[in-house]
Amino acid sequence: MKNRYVLTVLVFLLWIILLDPNNMISRVREARTRNRLLREKEYYMGRIEEDRRKLNELRTSNENLEKYAREQYRMKRPDEDLFIIVTPGEERKIRRDRKVSKTPKPAEKQAPEGSKR
């Protein structure tokens, strides 16, 4: 008799863990996905709030607008010179982004068809 109860419990656990449409494996996977999406939501809500604050500053003050244009778009007045200082880390990132490739090797010269070697 004891074996029948153990077998029933094992079948029940197998059903709950693997075979049921709402099985434990799917529930754990969905919980992880939900947590990841909640973290992304928090991140993007923070970014939206930060962007709203920046947009409000740009709309309300011409000084802030000029500062933003100078910093982000490297705009300058006609009588000014612009110097950009780049750190070695930024330079590596720029080169990686541009994917600077080496110049291709020149093709070997081929003899004209009529000539013999």
Please provide the size of the chain in residues: 117
* Residue 1 CB coordination number (10 Å): 5
Range of the domain at 60: 2-84
pLDDT confidence of residue 32: 97
Share of the chain above pLDDT 70, in %: 82
Asked whether residue 70 is domain-assigned, the answer is yes
**How many whole angstroms separate alpha carbon 117 and alpha carbon 111?**
8
The mean pLDDT of 50-79, rounded to a whole number, is 86
Q: 6 vs 40, which has greater pLDDT? A: 40
pTM above the 0.85 mark? no
What is the number of domains present in the chain?
Answer: 1
In a domain, 68, yes or no: yes
73 within domain boundaries:
yes
Question: How confident is the model at residue 116, as a pLDDT?
Answer: 54
Mean pLDDT of 22-34: 89
Question: Mean per-residue pLDDT for 1-12?
Answer: 82
Q: What is the mean pLDDT of the chain?
A: 81
> Does residue 92 form part of some domain?
no
